[in-house]
Amino acid sequence: MQVFQRIHDQLLAKGTVDPRQVHTPLALPSRELLCLVHSAEYVDAFLGGSLDEQRLRRIGFGAAAATQTLINRTLAEVAGTLLTAELALEHGLACNTAGGTHHAFRDTGSGFCILNDLAVTAELLLRQGRAQRVLILDLDVHQGDGTAAIFAGRRDVFTLSVHAASNFPARKQASHLDIGLPDGCADDQYLSTVAEALTGVLQTFRPDLVLYDAGVDPHIDDELGRLAVTNEGLRRRELLVLDTCVGSGVPVAGYVGGGYASDLAVLAGRHCWLHRAAAQLWHDRL
Protein backbone atom coordinates (compact mmCIF):
# COMPACT_ATOMS: atom_id res chain seq x y z
CA MET A 1 0.00 0.00 0.00
CA GLN A 2 2.90 2.29 0.69
CA VAL A 3 3.56 2.55 -3.02
CA PHE A 4 0.46 4.69 -3.53
CA GLN A 5 1.80 7.36 -1.16
CA ARG A 6 5.18 7.12 -2.90
CA ILE A 7 3.57 7.77 -6.27
CA HIS A 8 1.82 10.85 -4.90
CA ASP A 9 5.00 12.13 -3.27
CA GLN A 10 7.20 11.49 -6.33
CA LEU A 11 4.77 13.30 -8.62
CA LEU A 12 4.80 16.39 -6.42
CA ALA A 13 8.53 16.26 -5.64
CA LYS A 14 9.47 16.10 -9.33
CA GLY A 15 6.95 18.75 -10.33
CA THR A 16 5.02 16.39 -12.60
CA VAL A 17 1.88 17.48 -10.79
CA ASP A 18 1.00 20.83 -9.26
CA PRO A 19 -0.61 20.59 -5.79
CA ARG A 20 -3.64 22.42 -7.22
CA GLN A 21 -4.18 19.49 -9.61
CA VAL A 22 -4.54 17.02 -6.75
CA HIS A 23 -8.13 16.11 -5.82
CA THR A 24 -9.25 14.13 -2.79
CA PRO A 25 -12.61 12.37 -2.50
CA LEU A 26 -14.92 14.05 -0.03
CA ALA A 27 -16.76 10.95 1.17
CA LEU A 28 -16.48 7.18 1.26
CA PRO A 29 -18.85 5.14 -0.94
CA SER A 30 -22.16 4.02 0.52
CA ARG A 31 -23.20 0.40 0.96
CA GLU A 32 -25.80 0.93 -1.79
CA LEU A 33 -23.13 2.08 -4.23
CA LEU A 34 -21.00 -1.02 -3.62
CA CYS A 35 -24.10 -3.20 -4.05
CA LEU A 36 -24.44 -1.98 -7.64
CA VAL A 37 -21.93 -4.68 -8.59
CA HIS A 38 -21.29 -6.69 -5.42
CA SER A 39 -23.76 -8.92 -3.60
CA ALA A 40 -25.25 -7.44 -0.42
CA GLU A 41 -24.06 -10.47 1.52
CA TYR A 42 -20.44 -9.93 0.45
CA VAL A 43 -20.56 -6.17 1.03
CA ASP A 44 -22.00 -6.63 4.52
CA ALA A 45 -19.42 -9.27 5.43
CA PHE A 46 -16.63 -6.98 4.21
CA LEU A 47 -17.93 -3.84 5.94
CA GLY A 48 -18.59 -5.78 9.13
CA GLY A 49 -15.10 -7.27 9.22
CA SER A 50 -16.55 -10.78 9.11
CA LEU A 51 -15.25 -12.24 5.83
CA ASP A 52 -14.89 -16.01 6.11
CA GLU A 53 -11.58 -17.87 5.96
CA GLN A 54 -12.01 -18.97 2.38
CA ARG A 55 -12.52 -15.42 1.13
CA LEU A 56 -9.68 -14.06 3.27
CA ARG A 57 -7.35 -16.67 1.79
CA ARG A 58 -8.46 -15.90 -1.74
CA ILE A 59 -8.01 -12.15 -1.23
CA GLY A 60 -4.48 -12.71 0.08
CA PHE A 61 -4.22 -10.07 2.80
CA GLY A 62 -5.10 -12.61 5.54
CA ALA A 63 -6.87 -11.30 8.61
CA ALA A 64 -5.77 -7.75 7.75
CA ALA A 65 -8.67 -7.58 5.27
CA ALA A 66 -11.02 -7.50 8.26
CA THR A 67 -9.28 -4.57 9.97
CA GLN A 68 -10.82 -1.11 9.94
CA THR A 69 -7.64 0.31 8.42
CA LEU A 70 -7.85 -1.87 5.33
CA ILE A 71 -11.63 -1.52 5.13
CA ASN A 72 -11.28 2.27 5.05
CA ARG A 73 -8.39 2.15 2.58
CA THR A 74 -10.40 -0.08 0.27
CA LEU A 75 -13.41 2.23 0.46
CA ALA A 76 -11.22 5.28 -0.14
CA GLU A 77 -9.82 3.61 -3.25
CA VAL A 78 -13.30 3.14 -4.70
CA ALA A 79 -14.09 6.78 -3.91
CA GLY A 80 -10.88 7.89 -5.61
CA THR A 81 -11.58 5.79 -8.69
CA LEU A 82 -15.05 7.28 -9.04
CA LEU A 83 -13.74 10.81 -8.53
CA THR A 84 -11.06 10.22 -11.18
CA ALA A 85 -13.68 9.11 -13.71
CA GLU A 86 -15.84 12.13 -12.89
CA LEU A 87 -12.85 14.43 -13.39
CA ALA A 88 -12.07 12.68 -16.69
CA LEU A 89 -15.64 13.28 -17.88
CA GLU A 90 -15.29 16.93 -16.91
CA HIS A 91 -11.79 17.62 -18.23
CA GLY A 92 -11.07 14.82 -20.72
CA LEU A 93 -8.23 13.26 -18.75
CA ALA A 94 -7.55 12.38 -15.11
CA CYS A 95 -5.38 9.87 -13.26
CA ASN A 96 -5.59 8.25 -9.86
CA THR A 97 -2.60 7.43 -7.66
CA ALA A 98 -4.24 4.08 -6.83
CA GLY A 99 -7.09 1.94 -8.17
CA GLY A 100 -7.59 -0.90 -10.62
CA THR A 101 -8.60 -3.75 -8.30
CA HIS A 102 -9.72 -5.91 -11.19
CA HIS A 103 -9.67 -9.38 -9.58
CA ALA A 104 -12.67 -8.63 -7.32
CA PHE A 105 -15.82 -10.55 -8.31
CA ARG A 106 -19.45 -9.96 -7.41
CA ASP A 107 -19.36 -12.32 -4.41
CA THR A 108 -15.72 -12.37 -3.38
CA GLY A 109 -12.39 -10.65 -3.56
CA SER A 110 -9.33 -12.29 -5.07
CA GLY A 111 -5.66 -11.64 -5.79
CA PHE A 112 -5.19 -8.66 -3.41
CA CYS A 113 -8.42 -7.05 -4.66
CA ILE A 114 -11.44 -6.71 -2.35
CA LEU A 115 -13.85 -4.40 -4.16
CA ASN A 116 -13.92 -3.85 -7.92
CA ASP A 117 -13.51 -0.09 -8.07
CA LEU A 118 -13.58 -0.03 -11.88
CA ALA A 119 -16.86 -1.94 -12.02
CA VAL A 120 -18.55 0.16 -9.34
CA THR A 121 -17.52 3.33 -11.16
CA ALA A 122 -18.64 2.16 -14.60
CA GLU A 123 -21.97 0.89 -13.31
CA LEU A 124 -22.78 4.07 -11.41
CA LEU A 125 -21.94 6.40 -14.31
CA LEU A 126 -24.01 4.29 -16.70
CA ARG A 127 -27.02 4.27 -14.36
CA GLN A 128 -26.73 8.02 -13.86
CA GLY A 129 -26.71 8.49 -17.64
CA ARG A 130 -23.36 10.26 -17.46
CA ALA A 131 -21.92 7.64 -19.81
CA GLN A 132 -23.63 5.41 -22.38
CA ARG A 133 -20.78 3.04 -23.25
CA VAL A 134 -17.74 2.43 -21.05
CA LEU A 135 -14.55 0.71 -22.19
CA ILE A 136 -12.52 -0.88 -19.40
CA LEU A 137 -9.03 -1.20 -20.85
CA ASP A 138 -6.98 -3.53 -18.67
CA LEU A 139 -3.25 -3.67 -19.43
CA ASP A 140 -2.22 -5.11 -16.08
CA VAL A 141 -0.18 -8.26 -16.77
CA HIS A 142 -2.85 -10.36 -15.06
CA GLN A 143 -6.20 -10.88 -16.73
CA GLY A 144 -9.00 -8.64 -15.39
CA ASP A 145 -11.07 -11.66 -14.47
CA GLY A 146 -13.34 -10.06 -11.87
CA THR A 147 -14.26 -7.19 -14.16
CA ALA A 148 -14.84 -9.57 -17.07
CA ALA A 149 -17.18 -11.76 -15.00
CA ILE A 150 -19.15 -8.80 -13.60
CA PHE A 151 -19.81 -7.37 -17.07
CA ALA A 152 -20.17 -10.62 -19.04
CA GLY A 153 -22.85 -10.29 -21.69
CA ARG A 154 -23.25 -6.53 -21.24
CA ARG A 155 -23.55 -4.34 -24.30
CA ASP A 156 -22.89 -1.01 -22.57
CA VAL A 157 -19.53 -2.09 -21.10
CA PHE A 158 -16.63 -3.47 -23.11
CA THR A 159 -13.89 -5.28 -21.19
CA LEU A 160 -10.57 -5.48 -23.03
CA SER A 161 -7.72 -7.33 -21.31
CA VAL A 162 -4.17 -7.65 -22.67
CA HIS A 163 -2.21 -9.90 -20.31
CA ALA A 164 0.38 -12.67 -19.99
CA ALA A 165 -1.42 -15.84 -21.03
CA SER A 166 0.50 -18.05 -18.59
CA ASN A 167 0.05 -15.80 -15.56
CA PHE A 168 -2.53 -15.60 -12.74
CA PRO A 169 -5.45 -16.24 -12.78
CA ALA A 170 -5.06 -19.85 -13.92
CA ARG A 171 -8.74 -19.99 -14.80
CA LYS A 172 -9.47 -16.99 -17.04
CA GLN A 173 -12.89 -15.42 -17.45
CA ALA A 174 -14.16 -14.30 -20.85
CA SER A 175 -13.70 -10.57 -21.41
CA HIS A 176 -15.34 -9.01 -24.45
CA LEU A 177 -11.83 -9.18 -25.92
CA ASP A 178 -8.91 -11.08 -24.39
CA ILE A 179 -5.39 -11.03 -25.75
CA GLY A 180 -3.05 -13.45 -24.00
CA LEU A 181 0.60 -12.69 -24.72
CA PRO A 182 3.47 -15.21 -24.65
CA ASP A 183 6.09 -15.12 -21.87
CA GLY A 184 8.95 -12.78 -22.68
CA CYS A 185 6.88 -10.55 -24.97
CA ALA A 186 8.93 -7.36 -25.48
CA ASP A 187 8.24 -3.73 -26.35
CA ASP A 188 7.54 -3.81 -30.07
CA GLN A 189 5.17 -6.78 -30.10
CA TYR A 190 3.52 -5.58 -26.89
CA LEU A 191 2.94 -2.02 -28.08
CA SER A 192 1.70 -2.97 -31.53
CA THR A 193 -0.75 -5.41 -29.94
CA VAL A 194 -2.08 -2.75 -27.57
CA ALA A 195 -2.31 -0.15 -30.34
CA GLU A 196 -4.21 -2.44 -32.68
CA ALA A 197 -6.64 -3.65 -30.04
CA LEU A 198 -7.37 -0.21 -28.59
CA THR A 199 -7.83 1.45 -31.98
CA GLY A 200 -10.15 -1.32 -33.13
CA VAL A 201 -12.36 -1.18 -30.02
CA LEU A 202 -12.55 2.62 -30.08
CA GLN A 203 -13.81 2.42 -33.66
CA THR A 204 -16.30 -0.43 -33.22
CA PHE A 205 -17.59 0.04 -29.66
CA ARG A 206 -17.34 3.86 -29.65
CA PRO A 207 -17.11 4.34 -25.87
CA ASP A 208 -17.79 7.70 -24.30
CA LEU A 209 -15.50 6.93 -21.36
CA VAL A 210 -12.37 4.77 -20.97
CA LEU A 211 -11.30 3.42 -17.59
CA TYR A 212 -7.67 2.42 -18.03
CA ASP A 213 -5.99 -0.04 -15.63
CA ALA A 214 -2.32 0.78 -16.20
CA GLY A 215 -0.69 -2.01 -14.20
CA VAL A 216 3.09 -1.87 -14.60
CA ASP A 217 3.62 -5.58 -13.98
CA PRO A 218 4.34 -6.27 -17.70
CA HIS A 219 7.74 -4.68 -16.86
CA ILE A 220 10.75 -6.91 -17.52
CA ASP A 221 11.94 -6.67 -13.90
CA ASP A 222 8.53 -7.16 -12.28
CA GLU A 223 8.58 -9.96 -9.73
CA LEU A 224 5.26 -11.41 -10.90
CA GLY A 225 5.31 -10.36 -14.54
CA ARG A 226 6.66 -12.80 -17.17
CA LEU A 227 6.65 -10.20 -19.96
CA ALA A 228 9.65 -8.08 -20.97
CA VAL A 229 8.44 -4.51 -21.37
CA THR A 230 11.16 -1.94 -20.61
CA ASN A 231 10.91 1.47 -18.95
CA GLU A 232 10.87 2.99 -22.41
CA GLY A 233 8.13 0.55 -23.38
CA LEU A 234 6.00 1.63 -20.43
CA ARG A 235 6.61 5.29 -21.26
CA ARG A 236 5.50 4.68 -24.84
CA ARG A 237 2.49 2.62 -23.70
CA GLU A 238 1.10 5.35 -21.47
CA LEU A 239 1.52 8.00 -24.16
CA LEU A 240 0.00 5.67 -26.75
CA VAL A 241 -3.08 4.86 -24.68
CA LEU A 242 -3.80 8.35 -23.38
CA ASP A 243 -3.02 10.06 -26.70
CA THR A 244 -5.16 7.60 -28.66
CA CYS A 245 -8.16 8.16 -26.35
CA VAL A 246 -7.77 11.93 -26.08
CA GLY A 247 -7.11 12.17 -29.82
CA SER A 248 -10.34 10.28 -30.46
CA GLY A 249 -12.23 12.69 -28.23
CA VAL A 250 -12.92 10.04 -25.58
CA PRO A 251 -12.38 10.98 -21.91
CA VAL A 252 -9.92 8.64 -20.22
CA ALA A 253 -9.33 7.93 -16.55
CA GLY A 254 -6.06 6.19 -15.65
CA TYR A 255 -5.53 3.87 -12.70
CA VAL A 256 -2.35 2.50 -11.18
CA GLY A 257 -3.11 -1.25 -11.21
CA GLY A 258 -0.53 -3.87 -10.23
CA GLY A 259 3.23 -3.76 -9.98
CA TYR A 260 5.67 -5.77 -7.87
CA ALA A 261 9.21 -4.83 -6.83
CA SER A 262 10.98 -4.81 -3.49
CA ASP A 263 12.33 -1.29 -4.08
CA LEU A 264 9.23 0.87 -3.68
CA ALA A 265 10.90 3.98 -5.08
CA VAL A 266 11.70 2.11 -8.30
CA LEU A 267 8.18 0.69 -8.45
CA ALA A 268 6.59 4.10 -7.86
CA GLY A 269 8.75 5.45 -10.67
CA ARG A 270 7.30 2.87 -13.06
CA HIS A 271 3.75 3.83 -12.06
CA CYS A 272 4.55 7.51 -12.54
CA TRP A 273 4.95 7.02 -16.30
CA LEU A 274 1.14 7.17 -16.43
CA HIS A 275 1.00 10.55 -14.78
CA ARG A 276 3.98 11.86 -16.72
CA ALA A 277 2.27 10.97 -19.97
CA ALA A 278 -0.95 12.57 -18.75
CA ALA A 279 0.88 15.75 -17.72
CA GLN A 280 2.56 15.94 -21.13
CA LEU A 281 -0.72 15.49 -22.98
CA TRP A 282 -2.46 17.94 -20.70
CA HIS A 283 0.19 20.51 -21.58
CA ASP A 284 0.26 19.74 -25.32
CA ARG A 285 -3.35 18.94 -26.22
CA LEU A 286 -5.93 19.90 -23.62
Q: Is 258 in the site for Zn ion (CB under 5 A)?
A: yes
Closest distance to Zn ion from the beta carbon of 254 (Å): 15
Choose between 98 and 281: whose C-beta lies nearer to Zn ion.
98
Pairing between β-strand 209-213 and β-strand 252-255 as defined by DSSP bridges:
parallel
Choose between 108 and 125: whose C-beta lies nearer to Zn ion.
108
Applying CB under 5 A, which part among 157-165, 192-200, 245-253, 254-262 lies near Zn ion? Answer: 254-262
Are 216 and 276 spatial neighbours (Cβ–Cβ below 8 Å)?
no
Closest distance to Zn ion from the beta carbon of 12 (Å): 26
Per-residue interface string for the shown chain with Zn ion, residues 113-152, x marking contact by CB under 5 A: ---------------------------x-x----------
Choose between 215 and 254: whose C-beta lies nearer to Zn ion.
215
For Zn ion, which residue has the nearest CB?
Answer: 258
d(CA 113, CA 231): 26
Closest distance to Zn ion from the beta carbon of 46 (Å): 21
d(CA 51, CA 44): 9
Closest distance to Zn ion from the beta carbon of 100 (Å): 8
Q: Please list every residue from 212 through 251 that binds Zn ion, using CB under 5 A.
A: 215, 217
Q: What DSSP letter does each residue of 234-258 carry, written as one string?
A: HHHHHHHHHHHHHHTT--EEEE---
Choose between 215 and 251: whose C-beta lies nearer to Zn ion.
215
Q: Which residues bind Zn ion (CB under 5 A)?
A: 140, 142, 215, 217, 258
